[in-house]
Structure 1
Amino acid sequence: METNSKETLQADFDVFDISEEFGFLLEEPLTHLPDHYQVWLDLANNLIHLIESRKLRDLVDKMPVLSPDLLSDHRELRLAHLALGFISMGYVWQEGQHAPAEILPKALALPFWLVSRRLGLPPILTYADSVLANWKLKDPTGDMRIGNMDLIFSFPGGDTCRGFFIVSLLVEMAASPGIMGALEVMRAIKVSDLTGIKNGLIKVTQSLKKMKEKFKFMHNHVEPAAFHGKLRIFVSGWRDNPMLPRGVMYEGVSDEPILLSGGSAAQSSAIQCFDALLCIQHEEETGAFLTRMRDYMPPAHRQLIETLSVCPPLRDFILSCSNSDLCQAYNSCVSALVDLRNYHLNTVTKYVIIPGNHAQSVGCPFRGVGTALNTTGTGGSNLMVFLKSVRNTTQKALILERLS
């Protein structure tokens, strides 16, 4: 029986491209590509200098058009997508909010489009790139703690850029046991295994609490003015963005501008998995936005969310069981998710709303995002309205009936 369970678990890992230790993170991301693509890595590795010296656009405009056909496996494609994504964001936002590039040149746009098609991702820097696939260990024999981790590619913003992406990665890694717990619940509910459901929910709750603890590192490693004034514009997309209302033209790909959202925590597969597991019913507009954000996730991760969504509804099952222990385990899980969302909301106030209001009051002294995205998330949502909505609908999932 145990062997069958392990085999089932391994089958799930393979189908959904996850691991017990790393969850949705890309394991051991590559840092090198075949020599044919060295020009991409040279630009991505020197991105900060090239942006700050205003040289990036000129170099990209002179870049040869390279076919991605020599990229042979998934990790090579992920590194290529990461590099082209960083270069694209740097190219579009090199001059800040006042002069974004409205056209990506063919040498950048076409290979980015082709790599994206092979991965099932959109041709823009996604959360799956900048957080899940953008890490390396300083000491490969050491552990995954913040002091031993670094980024493969960075944007302007110094330690704040490094801190923002690495803390986000550690939050995702803390989700790994919860994803395993969600898989356990998914299997247990099919055979009405109450103990299995309860144990799986306990793992999800513990994981959500650990995610919040990791999230707290943001305050030690990310400086609000640097995040808002330097980094944030480079993860901003071109959909629902007042700075690029028509989107961006991908030369050699489309004759019309393309609208794509920037990287956002709404693209976290882990959080959407927990929503699906717990049967969180978001309001229509918010739910539609979150569903659209799945298009920015690797297809296998998206498939896990969709698989959880079509399982027998956990909340209804618990209500039908009238089991107080199970109800308590479910409510603890929902409360932990509410707590995490509350913490996220407060953190966004500190890093986006307050610095944005300050920038507005002093006349926007920095070249970066300025006041253009004061109330808009990098994914294009109305930031505080969205965050309060997801928090409130999560809270509504609590089971308030007294169960015997």
Structure 2
Amino acid sequence: MLISGASSEFLKLTQEQIEEKYLVSWKNGFLVDCSQVNLPICWSPFEQAAKQLTEHVEKKSIRETVLKLNGDHDIPKEKRQQLVLHKILTFLTSGYIWQDGEEDVPKELPWCLSKPLTRVSDALGVQPILSYPSMILGNWKMKNVDKPFEFGNVNAMYWTPGGDGAEWFIVTHVIIEQRFAPALDAIVEAMKHSSPGSEDNAKLVEALRNIPKVMSEMMYTFTKINDGVQPEHFYDELRIFYSGWGNGRNPLPDGLIYKGVYGDKPKTMKGGSAAQSTTLQLLDAALGIKHEGDQKNFLDEVRDYMMKEHRDFCDVVEENSNIRKYVDQCENDDVQLAYNKCIDAIRNFRNLHMKKVDQYIKRPSQRNDRRQAVEGLKDTGTGSTPYLEFLKRVNEDTKNCTLTKK
């Protein structure tokens, strides 16, 4: 791929312009700081209900509480306010639908949730379900902003029922996202120094070498999930709240009716999934890692669950990165070695993901004493895919992108 005029324009943007246009941060990656955002007072009853979600679900009172809410209010125009509202509404939706696991599941979402949820989702360019942007990216706060971004100094703002494990699960993913932040600069720098007329092998190698370091930090953080979430607890108690509906899966095989919206016809939705994180898709886009078949279709579909700005950032990088083509044609051994180490690092992270899926889903699903009220998720991930086979194929695609000397 030759660098287009559009790419030239993108590479002329300053760091500040990229951060503003694509809602990213050189400090915190794709995380969006909503910790100081306040909603108009009309949404206070929704906030209160979401903060008490665990209590309401335990008492089987979440549906009664939701039906008393008035959702006939204007959607905020400010982006972070919209994300906060989406977060609150989707946590309430998750509790409302999955209060009893797969038993006694309502077929429709009441108007007081469906109307504001679909409107704010349209405004953000995301889907009306609890997904990665609302559950992870905009759902954190620091206890002390002057201290490091670490476990113990980061809290979730909202979480599903499941005790401390529910919050730990969210915080682990928040910190993984924050650890990705240095890769943004590495990607942009690598794009610049592999573009026609601006080639610089030394600077390209320097930029590429930062990516394995980032992946190592992300992997280390990922392993910490075991410190606060037990596999059986995740499978039996947490996982149902992150699941979607439709695609022939019980108990909502046709999808969920969003009352008063979509002509009152059921809509299918994928549940929250790590595939909805922009991090690995951005690395694929930058490094020219291509996927085929069902895995490509799934990864394309989950982009609709990303924030529009993040999706756009991934798209512009994918359309304009010249990194792989340049490395493939370059005769400098250091350049190709640095590139292949990036591929290896991404493969290692995806291998770790497979191991965690095996540990937290496959093995717990084979227990005789597993919770029977979550059987619909037994053989698929929360994003509706046959999880291990999907991850295996994605990693094979990654391996196949290793470059060899000609």
Shift of 1:117: 1.2
2:331 maps to which residue? Answer: 322
Shift of 1:66: 2.5
- Residues 230-289 of structure 1 show CA distances to partners (whole Å, capped at 9, x for unaligned) of 110000011433332111000111221111111101001011000111211112110110
Shift of 1:27: 2.1
- Residues 26-80 of structure 1 show CA distances to partners (whole Å, capped at 9, x for unaligned) of 02434642211111101100000101110001111222232234x2411111110
Conserved 8 A contact 1:92-1:101: yes
2:349 maps to which residue? Answer: 340
- Unpaired stretches in structure 1, ≥5 consecutive residues: none
Q: Which moved more, 1:103-112 or 1:248-257?
A: 248-257
Name the amino acid aligned to 1:259.
Answer: T
Conserved 8 A contact 1:82-1:130: yes
1:101 corresponds to 2:109: no
1:26 corresponds to 2:32: yes
- Residues 211-237 of structure 1 show CA distances to partners (whole Å, capped at 9, x for unaligned) of 111111111111111111111000001
1:308 maps to which residue? Answer: 317
Conserved 8 A contact 2:34-2:84: no
Identity %: 31
1:249 corresponds to 2:257: yes
1:45 maps to which residue? Answer: 51
1:248-267 aligned within 5 A: 248-254=256-262, 255-267=264-276
Task: State the TM-score, normalized to the length of structure 2.
Answer: 0.93
1:199 maps to which residue? Answer: 206
Partner residue of 2:381 out of 377, 387, 390: 377
1:395 corresponds to 2:378: no
Conserved 8 A contact 1:154-1:161: yes
2:8 maps to which residue? Answer: none
Distance 2:137 2:81 in 1: 14
1:222 corresponds to 2:243: no
Conserved 8 A contact 2:33-2:140: no
Shift of 1:141: 4.2
Name the amino acid aligned to 1:243.
Answer: P
Name the amino acid aligned to 1:44.
Answer: A
Distance 1:65 1:312 in 2: 44
Partner residue of 2:67 out of 52, 61, 69: 61
Distance 2:225 2:184 in 1: 23
Conserved 8 A contact 2:87-2:135: yes
Shift of 1:193: 2.7
SS in structure 2 at match of 1:310: helix
Distance 1:9 1:286 in 2: 32
Shift of 1:7: 6.1
Shift of 1:375: 1.8
1:269 corresponds to 2:278: yes
1:134 maps to which residue? Answer: 139
SS in structure 1 at match of 2:236: helix
1:79 corresponds to 2:84: yes
- Residues 103-134 of structure 1 show CA distances to partners (whole Å, capped at 9, x for unaligned) of 00000000011111111111111101111111
- Residues 355-381 of structure 1 show CA distances to partners (whole Å, capped at 9, x for unaligned) of 1111xx23x4464x2x22122111111
Distance 1:52 1:136 in 2: 25
Conserved 8 A contact 1:65-1:107: yes
Q: Which moved more, 1:265-274 or 1:279-288?
A: 279-288
> How has the CA–CA distance of structure 1 residues 242 and 188 changed in structure 2, closer, same or farther, with 3 Å as cutoff?
farther
Distance 1:31 1:163 in 2: 22
Name the amino acid aligned to 1:41.
Answer: E
Name the amino acid aligned to 2:261.
Answer: V
Q: Which moved more, 1:76-85 or 1:147-156?
A: 147-156
Distance 2:34 2:27 in 1: 12
1:143 corresponds to 2:139: no
Conserved 8 A contact 1:179-1:204: no
> How has the CA–CA distance of structure 1 residues 16 and 195 changed in structure 2, closer, same or farther, with 3 Å as cutoff?
farther
Distance 1:239 1:175 in 2: 32
Distance 1:129 1:197 in 2: 35
Shift of 1:347: 0.7
Name the amino acid aligned to 2:162.
Answer: G
1:177-188 aligned within 5 A: 177-188=182-193
